[in-house]
């Protein structure tokens, strides 16, 4: 089984909709003529002369695997960070370069997608072995066994995981790998909060930004889970009306966004938080809304919390305890 993702998983939905996987790096154009790993590395060095030697080796090796080592019939996985889901499928064709394709999707392999596995159902060692920043690598056998058990609903046997074969190659890449994995593990903690805790966490981040908040009691809130404003009463501008949907496996669609907008005043600002993300149609509704409306998915929420964490009150920080790690600059 191969893990293949592009830009940290940003294009996962495009992969699923188009039935492909892709790796980017289009500046090299077609990879087909570069038959050997050495030729691929040399082309990487010529295309990006600023790359350090080891980075050129790592990138060239990944591209060689994608174009030549992966075979039709091989299994493939990709990760959608917004849905927190691993998609599994089978490679159906040889490497293709499509010069007219969308940016990020021109170096591609055809895939028949067949299964999904939620990140929350996997063990910490498997999550860790599935990496964070490498674009192409072979999934360790222990992780494959656990993924297959999750698909079939069988009990997962105890696993022996090898040392991380997908480790970064220098301090900069190691730091980025650590940051990316940290965000994923923070998301693991976030989805375990209940709805009221999630609402309080969002309100805590807004207070850290200088607003005063009113948090609705459980029950019908008419699309107003939180009201944030300078005076705390919603009388002074800006008045931010917040809806919080804590459904990690359910995207919000255009209907939910239109319903939220329907109860807003012309001077309101809208903030819609959905830990399950948003459909393309929902994002289109937000873009053409009559009031300023920001959609926040789980990745945006992690970033909002991290940026404001040190200014958050103790009650809010207790909902998501984090520790700071120092790293050489």
Would you say 25 and 65 are in contact if contact means Cβ atoms under 8 Å apart? no
How many Å apart are CA 304 and CA 317, to the nearest integer?
13
Q: Tally the domains of the chain.
A: 2
Within a domain: residue 69? yes
Would you say 281 and 253 are in contact if contact means Cβ atoms under 8 Å apart? yes
Residues 54 and 103 in one domain: yes
**Which string of b and e fits 231-265 if b means at least 16 CB within 10 Å?**
eeebeeeebbbbbbbbebeebbebebbeebbeebe
What DSSP string describes 260-295?
HHHT--TT-EEEEEETT-B-HHHHHHHHT-SS-EEE
Element (H, E) at 179: helix 171-190
And the tokens for 316? 């809010």
Q: What residue numbers bound the domain in which 71 lies?
A: 2-190
CA torsion sign for 26, 12, 7, 4 is negative
CATH of residue 240 = 3.40.1350.10
Q: What confidence score (pLDDT) does residue 147 get?
A: 94
Within a domain: residue 326? no
Q: Helix crossing, 280-287 with 254-262: angle to 10°?
A: 30
- Going residue by residue through the chain (329 aa), what tens digit of pLDDT does each one get? 999 988 778 889 999 999 999 998 989 999 999 999 999 999 999 999 998 888 899 899 999 999 999 999 999 999 998 888 999 999 999 999 999 888 889 999 999 999 999 988 898 888 888 876 788 999 999 999 999 999 988 776 656 655 555 555 566 777 777 888 889 899 999 999 999 999 999 999 999 999 999 888 766 555 678 999 988 676 777 889 999 999 888 889 999 999 998 878 888 899 999 999 999 999 999 999 888 999 999 999 999 999 999 999 999 999 999 998 888 87
Q: What confidence score (pLDDT) does residue 165 get?
A: 53
And the tokens for 248? 């990690």
Q: What confidence score (pLDDT) does residue 47 get?
A: 94
**What's the distance, CA 229 to chain centroid?**
30
Within a domain: residue 274? yes
Residues 177 and 237 in one domain: no
Q: What confidence score (pLDDT) does residue 217 get?
A: 75
Residues 163 and 290 in one domain: no
Q: Taking the model in full, what pTM does it have? A: 0.74
Q: What confidence score (pLDDT) does residue 38 get?
A: 94
Residues 185 and 308 in one domain: no
Element (H, E) at 50: none
Residues 11 and 135 in one domain: yes
| Residue at which a domain ends, from 190, 223, 253 | 190
């Amino acid at each position: 089984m191969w893990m293949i993702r592009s830009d940290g998983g940003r294009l996962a939905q495009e992969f699923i909709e188009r039935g492909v996987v892709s790796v980017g790096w289009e500046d090299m154009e077609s990879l087909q003529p570069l038959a050997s790993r050495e030729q691929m590395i040399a082309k990487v060095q010529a295309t990006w002369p600023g790359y350090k030697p080891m980075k050129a080796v790592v990138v060239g090796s990944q591209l060689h695997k994608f174009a030549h080592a992966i075979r039709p019939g091989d299994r493939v996985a990709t990760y959608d960070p917004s849905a927190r889901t691993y998609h599994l499928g089978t490679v159906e064709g040889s490497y293709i370069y499509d010069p007219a394709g969308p940016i990020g999707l021109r170096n591609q392999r055809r895939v028949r997608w067949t299964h999904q596995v939620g990140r929350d159902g996997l063990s910490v060692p498997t999550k860790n072995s599935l990496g964070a920043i490498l674009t192409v690598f072979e999934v360790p056998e222990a992780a494959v066994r656990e993924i297959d058990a999750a698909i079939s609903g069988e009990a997962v046997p105890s696993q022996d995981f090898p040392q991380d074969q997908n480790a970064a190659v220098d301090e900069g890449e190691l730091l980025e790998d650590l940051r990316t994995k940290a965000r994923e593990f923070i998301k693991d903690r976030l989805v375990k909060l209940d709805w009221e805790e999630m609402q309080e966490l969002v309100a805590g981040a807004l207070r850290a930004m200088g607003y005063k908040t009113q948090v609705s009691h459980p029950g019908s809130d008419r699309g107003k889970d939180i009201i944030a404003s300078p005076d705390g009463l919603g009388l002074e501008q800006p008045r931010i009306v917040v809806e919080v949907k804590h459904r990690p496996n359910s995207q919000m669609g255009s209907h939910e966004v239109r319903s939220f907008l329907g109860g807003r005043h012309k001077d309101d600002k809208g903030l819609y938080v959905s830990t399950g993300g948003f459909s393309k149609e929902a994002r289109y509704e937000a873009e053409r809304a009559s009031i300023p409306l920001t959609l926040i998915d789980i990745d945006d929420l992690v970033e909002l919390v991290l940026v404001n964490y040190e200014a958050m009150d103790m009650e809010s920080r207790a909902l998501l305890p984090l520790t700071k790690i120092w790293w050489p600059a």
